[in-house]
Structure 1
């Protein structure tokens, strides 16, 4: 259990917000997400840790201790950050469930960091050694503060689990160095890759030391003053330094940078009581979701710069939708949910969790998507499993990348996932994501409440809730009704209620054993794009519950997916595929046209080209690519239906 006085929780506002998150100990996961947490613990984290050694990135720290960085350093300039993210993942895991293996590894790495750290608190294996680059000589691309931010995040995880140990001492020394170096009397600079902002606020929350919050606020306010140099990736908006964050109407530039900055700015706004900034950030993110986000929740439509496009510039076959951007989007939406209570933020979290976060790791936990395209025209390419991959867009998950930010981000997210699912307020308990498992919580007045959830979600939309702890006094149980559902019902006692999307709240003097049944319905549904999304106009995509579906060539070997049309007026058939256990496939009717024999591809009409009827098998998007090289598409030209 968590030691007294500590809340093992990834986001823990010190200032009162509308909803209070729960420690990861208060949520037990089984089913879909429980299986992925076990996979993360047993395979993903050890796999990443092995590659950190294999690629030589931990060796960089040893070289820093030995004084051999000039000849022995390998990898890109931000490799330290991946070590810190795996340390954070281990810290959450041992807080959730003891692990002597992870504890020993954390101690080993912490000793190494202690030895590598400079006397003034500076720590980075790419800079500040004889013959190497000078520290803070390249704020645009150097990632020094970004790396320090991830170090601090790992230490916050340890602190919140009650361990004030060597890792915490290293991180606090690094944070104090940054406050001196970039404080009111120091460098008037910012990092080209935001992350330090959120880290410093969380360290303030964990320690109560105001200087960390003040420094985070300085970094946020310095954005947009054009202090960073210009870049070929769309100018200074690439790293959000072209316009003050209070003036920018929508997220621009590198998607991960923009989202990390937004998360940090929300944290600053909450802790400083800056309601105007908070409202602006919410509007900024809302516009981004409404105009610059893929059906899967993915963000980033430009390969050049891993960045946002213009409004409605969302080409399926050029979707970048980096896994890290999905993680960062969840971070932003969760903070806005806590601050506003608006269920639409839980909706985007659900969409992104099931269709980006769950898509990234392979079923075996030993390979990962960096990019999450929505259309793979040709067969994906198998990467070399023995070397870090340079290629992120080949359609197959790779064991490791030369830039491996995504696998480690997935590891720390899954390890701390229990802290993103439910909240409490003065009225009672709120359930935002549906999992098979248990929730125990303490209300602000000190009363303990608890529920169990029994569900096969997302295979099934039926969620049975049972009260497991209550003192018999009234409290409110609030359930999110997803925006995608059309026929949701809630039954408790002898009454069944029809529910509209939003929030359903029942206030009762609950007794242990009281039950409710939420039925969200899981009828497959076709969705159409906004006509301003020119790249997929005239197409349809298939969804069922929170899952986006796709066509994969593994299920239709004789069909060129580039030549199919779906009939959205035809009935569906649903079955469990033999080679994707635990999923449901949806069978639809469609046609495939004969391939043109050659010649000019632009004709007055294509209607004369022969077509034949076919049955098309859709599978959950998060499972694609697990059966070997494949072509794939989410959006398909459509006939029939509305």
Structure 2
């Protein structure tokens, strides 16, 4: 097998061969402190080491060692335990490209050594299937997750190659990719995996090797989905998106992570095969899903039982699932559509999801995580049910937990934070586009020369983003900045060019000189957000946002003696803000004596019984001060109950 060669600096999580916008590699964007720079450092110092310690302690890594030894062993962890190791390899690879972290690099090398030794001669690699004492290979397409694990291995292999230049893991990934093409190609098994993931991996393997059969196989999997190769079961075939062809669907449905991984892979296939019909179908699915099936936090998935989307406008806050992995997958889907089309609405959703899902999951110390991200916590977090290894059994637990039996979310957060720099900016023939705002330096190699910008901002604490040109080509180039949809009243100051900056994008084109500055000011005053009347679960409620952050009312901030269920918000009093803290005026609702025996009372039995100012917290920081209850959607007080 021939090894291919590209510079290690070509560290792109996604590298389409065509599109309206082109991504920048990780080393091109360095974040320096601030909201996301601090979280990248937390990821390096705490989140990744914490996850590594758990997969080692639980002996999930030992599955690979035992598989290599070819002796009988008892498999540890769930059927997809291998994939958590692969996601950590991806995270450590991106971290190597970002910071050159040496301690993690040693761990990374040891993981890769174990993985390479475990691969079978024909390329197959899974620690739960295929040995005489185990289930046969490909005997459980519903729940076996073989192709799902293969996908994460191949993604890790591509990431490691792009980040380090080493072909050791890439050779493993190519051998596995060849195995998949043989087993599931035109003359092979007419099957798909119950959990999409292999599709995005095969396209990225094609992009790094230029071997067409990987792309063809990804396309085959996309076209095969929805033809009924998976069985009907209690949640329906929509659970694994096998109810209709991908290009026939008009909205995402079923298991949210599965749906979003599949959609991301389908965008990749559409872009590389110039399939405009498929791409248009995916854009429609994104639009309808965002308009009807997405929470204000950017979270997706309103069913706990099947971790799935509900019907249109079924978005209950207290039963919101909003799995962290679905947030990561949503970013994957939106990023691919942004590169393909250049439409800033996709970057808007990425921003919302980053601040209110990805940033919410890990604790401040990086050693515990939300698996699900509820919008309304009715009870304080009790002790989570733990198995004999001390691992949380259920991901929908009411608090952040150190680790889970199904532990997909922490490694997904790790690989997203490690690669976050690549989602900040892009280029095209005209110049550079900035999509996410974080302090640091951005360097783009344009056809006419290097464009280097220093970004100074404390966003989202403040709304000022100041760009200073460090270097630029001699000829005119364009610098475009995204103006979020909520930012009505934004302004741009580029020296002699001062103007309103309307939601969408604002662009400055000139021959820039070092030292020149562009300042974008986004309005950051807090605002009320009202739900669509069709969202029955929160009709009559209101949420509070400030910039990209959704805010929450936490019980710890209520006056003494108040319960969260007592509080209504007086919207006529407006919103306050002092030293960065958002405050609201709350009215306490008193219910009559009859409500003690019967929960349905007449209007005149519910009266206002006092009011108070209360502070809100950014949703991503809730549950950091001890056990509490919380809600994002707060009932709006009406004078009828006064």
TM-score normalized by the length of structure 1: 0.96
1:625 aligns with 2:623: yes
When structure 1 is superposed on structure 2, of 377-386 and 210-219 the one drifting more is 377-386
| Change beyond 3 A, Cα 1:4–1:64 | closer
* 2:89 aligns with one of 83, 87, 94: 87
In the alignment, is the contact (CA less than 8 A) between 1:44 and 1:365 conserved in 2?
yes
Q: SS in structure 1 opposite 2:53? A: helix
In the alignment, is the contact (CA less than 8 A) between 2:581 and 2:617 conserved in 1?
yes
Aligned partners of 2:532, 2:445: CA distance in 1, in Å?
A: 43
Q: SS in structure 2 opposite 1:594? A: strand
**1:335 is matched with which residue?**
336
Offset from partner CA, 1:211-230 (integer Å, 9 cap, x none): 11010000000000011011
**1:160 is matched with which residue?**
162
Aligned pairs for 1:317-396 (under 5 A) are 317-383=318-384, 387-396=390-399
| Change beyond 3 A, Cα 1:210–1:571 | same
In the alignment, is the contact (CA less than 8 A) between 1:569 and 1:640 conserved in 2?
no
RMSD of aligned Cα (Å): 1.6
How far 1:361 sits from its partner (Å)? 0.5
1:50 aligns with 2:48: no
1:590 aligns with 2:586: yes
Q: SS in structure 1 opposite 2:353? A: helix
Aligned partners of 2:618, 2:495: CA distance in 1, in Å?
A: 35
How far 1:606 sits from its partner (Å)? 5.0
Q: SS in structure 2 opposite 1:468? A: strand
Aligned partners of 1:293, 1:65: CA distance in 2, in Å?
A: 44
| Change beyond 3 A, Cα 1:67–1:452 | same
In the alignment, is the contact (CA less than 8 A) between 1:395 and 1:625 conserved in 2?
no
When structure 1 is superposed on structure 2, of 607-616 and 33-42 the one drifting more is 607-616
Q: Across the two proteins, how many residue pairs are aligned to each other?
A: 629
How far 1:171 sits from its partner (Å)? 1.4
Aligned pairs for 1:66-81 (under 5 A) are 66-70=69-73, 72-81=74-83
Aligned partners of 2:166, 2:340: CA distance in 1, in Å?
A: 29
Unpaired runs of 5+ residues, structure 1, are 577-583
Aligned pairs for 1:18-167 (under 5 A) are 18-30=20-32, 31-70=34-73, 72-167=74-169
How far 1:452 sits from its partner (Å)? 1.0
Aligned partners of 2:620, 2:493: CA distance in 1, in Å?
A: 31
Aligned pairs for 1:261-280 (under 5 A) are 261-280=262-281
In the alignment, is the contact (CA less than 8 A) between 1:69 and 1:125 conserved in 2?
no
**1:210 is matched with which residue?**
212
When structure 1 is superposed on structure 2, of 74-83 and 602-611 the one drifting more is 602-611
In the alignment, is the contact (CA less than 8 A) between 1:585 and 1:620 conserved in 2?
no
In the alignment, is the contact (CA less than 8 A) between 2:476 and 2:510 conserved in 1?
yes
**2:602 is matched with which residue?**
604
**1:636 is matched with which residue?**
634
Offset from partner CA, 1:202-261 (integer Å, 9 cap, x none): 01101111111010000000000011011212x110000010011111000000000000
Offset from partner CA, 1:135-167 (integer Å, 9 cap, x none): 100011110000010000111011212423322
Aligned pairs for 1:442-521 (under 5 A) are 442-443=445-446, 445-521=447-523
How far 1:493 sits from its partner (Å)? 1.1
In the alignment, is the contact (CA less than 8 A) between 2:527 and 2:575 conserved in 1?
no
TM-score normalized by the length of structure 2: 0.96
Q: SS in structure 1 opposite 2:185? A: coil
